[in-house]
Amino acid sequence: MNAITRPFMIANQWSTGEGEPFVSINPADGTESARIGVASKSDVDAAVRAARAAFDHPSWRALKQHQRAAFLYRMADLTAANKEVLARAQTADNGKSMNESRAQAASAADVFRYYGAVCESTESEITPQRGPSVTMTVYEPVGVVAAITPWNSPITIEAQKLAPIIAAGNTVVLKPSEVTSQVALEYARLYIEAGFPEGVVNIITGAGDVGRMLVDRPDIDMISFTGGTKAGQMIAESAGRRLIPVVLELGGKSPNIVFADADLKRAANVVADGIFSGSGQSCIAGSRIFVQREIFDGFLDSLVTASEIHFPQYPENPSAISGAMSSFHHRDLVAAFVDRAKLDGGRVVIGGEILRGGDYDKGAYYPPTIISDVTNQSRIAREEIFGPVAAIIPFVDEADAIAQANDTDFGLAAGVWTSDFAKAWRVGRALRAGTVWINGYKEGSISAPFGGFKRSGIGREKGVAGMRSYMQAKSMYWRIE
């Protein structure tokens, strides 16, 4: 067993904490990837105090926008230069293919660069004069932000939280998932190298109890959380009692709707990618596939063929599109969902069993799985599985597609496939989801706001709106008459 414990970082200083370190297991082969220090209550307190002191200190608070942006540009350069290190840290923790992890590291560098540009170019506003005073709206940082991130894509998700929080002028305490702590610790090293003042960025590690201690601190000014809906609800309750703002990016059960007049070959390939890439461990995964009845059987055959390239491989394989599941525990949860769907009458068209033999015996692998003969009321179509499992359901017409797609507790994303421009617009506008793709799926842009309707979350990340989420508007009146 590796005896070295990776420390966390508070005020640019490293610490392994007072408690027993926890072990991160590489789900691709079951080996130990790292031992991680655990923050105690005193560590959490110290991290929040450091963030508060940094927020109040002129070395950060008094910086002009272009000066703050310079830190983000340095982070962009360092992230790009350390792309391979970040990718290997993520893959070792959660089993993603190295191809996907490298692509995410390149994207993360773009995130820091984008928010550097947003930071230095965002302007205050002169509002129309209605009386004897000139009125102006200025935007100021909220203060100390607690950020909590999940295990599925820490390279991108942590960049998408930290960059706008910093761009807005806040300070932050980040608590990554205990499943994937190594990426955050690599970012901590880069923040020190980038020259950030002490306490602007603090990163503490540990399990859920560390996250709870962080969000319950009375001197936290805002909470940003990406993760499960139940945890998000508890965080919202805590924040509501203190009347502090939150950004919550939560679960999804996203519909991908295929009309008979779509480009069916392209739709089959992209719909398969929309649910099976990354082993389905994505909040925007298109896990409910609605297909117009008259093309249902033929499209299902095409979808099965398109799904075959997504069978998982050892993450280091050059051809790997999907790697392992994030953990053995999560693999077993996904398998249990599928087993229940079978008992409920669902028909497994492809996949549906834990993979065995070769690399599969050592790691936490699960195949692309399509389940037919279910309705939109089936449990497999109602609950987020967060794995490579799709329910495929027929629909009759446009009204039926909209009604079924919207009949869910979630509203994060959706896809529409049709060659009819007017229909695409009508359906896209009718869907209750924060992101709608038309004749595509799972495309991302850091400049487009991202978030959900209903139980999929509160607030927006990405884009200028993503930075404004971490700011407060102040109206200034300057009497001139």
- The single residue of 83, 96, 161, 462 carrying the catalytic annotation is 161
Residue in the structure block whose two tokens are 């020259």: 195
Q: So what's the pLDDT on residue 4?
A: 86
- Report pLDDT digits (tens) over 180-196: 999 999 999 999 999 99
- Flag whether pLDDT at 111 surpasses 90: yes
Q: So what's the pLDDT on residue 3?
A: 62
474 is catalytic: no
- Flag whether pLDDT at 299 surpasses 60: yes
- Flag whether pLDDT at 2 surpasses 80: no
Read off the pTM.
0.95
Angstrom distance (rounded) from CA 7 to CA 5: 6
461 is catalytic: yes
- Report pLDDT digits (tens) over 206-242: 999 999 999 999 999 999 999 999 999 999 999 999 9
Q: So what's the pLDDT on residue 481?
A: 83
Confidence category of residue 1, pLDDT binned at 50, 70, 90: very low
Distance, CA of 254 to chain centre = 15
- Report pLDDT digits (tens) over 396-454: 999 999 999 999 999 999 999 999 999 999 999 999 999 999 999 999 999 999 999 99
Tokens of 109: 């560098």
Angstrom distance (rounded) from CA 44 to CA 210: 7
Rounded average pLDDT over 359-373? 97
- The single residue of 283, 384, 442, 462 carrying the catalytic annotation is 283
294 is catalytic: no
384 is catalytic: no
Tokens of 204: 């503490």
Residue in the structure block whose two tokens are 């797609």: 405
Rounded average pLDDT over 129-155? 96
The 3-class SS string of the chain reads CCCCEECEEECCEEECCCCCCEEEECCCCCCEEEEECCCCHHHHHHHHHHHHHHHHCHHHHCCCHHHHHHHHHHHHHHHHHCHHHHHHHHHHHHCCCHHHHHHHHHHHHHHHHHHHHHHHHCCCEEECCCCCEEEEEEEEECCEEEEECCCCCHHHHHHHHHHHHHHCCCEEEEECCCCCCHHHHHHHHHHHHCCCCCCCEEECCCCHHHHHHHHCCCCCCEEEEECCHHHHHHHHHHHHHHCCCEEEECCCCCEEEECCCCCHHHHHHHHHHHHHHHHHCCCCCCCEEEEEHHHHHHHHHHHHHHHHHHCCCCCCCCCCCCCCCCCHHHHHHHHHHHHHHHHCCCEEEECCCCCCCCHHHHCCCCCCEEEECCCCCCHHHHCCCCCCEEEEEEECCHHHHHHHHHCCCEECEEEEECCCHHHHHHHHHHCCCCEEEECCCCCCCCCCCECCEECCEECCECHHHHHHCCEEEEEEEEECC
- The single residue of 100, 158, 186, 249 carrying the catalytic annotation is 249
Angstrom distance (rounded) from CA 393 to CA 292: 9
**More confident: 124 or 87:** 87
Angstrom distance (rounded) from CA 205 to CA 196: 20
Mean pLDDT taken over the chain: 96
* Domain annotation for the chain: domains and CATH numbers: 5-250+456-477 (3.40.605.10), 255-445 (3.40.309.10)
Confirm if 19 and 41 have CB atoms less than 8 A apart. Answer: no
Helix axes 98-121, 83-94, angle to 10 degrees: 120
Rounded average pLDDT over 12-26? 93
Backbone angles phi, psi at 367, to 5 degrees: -85, 165
Q: So what's the pLDDT on residue 424?
A: 98
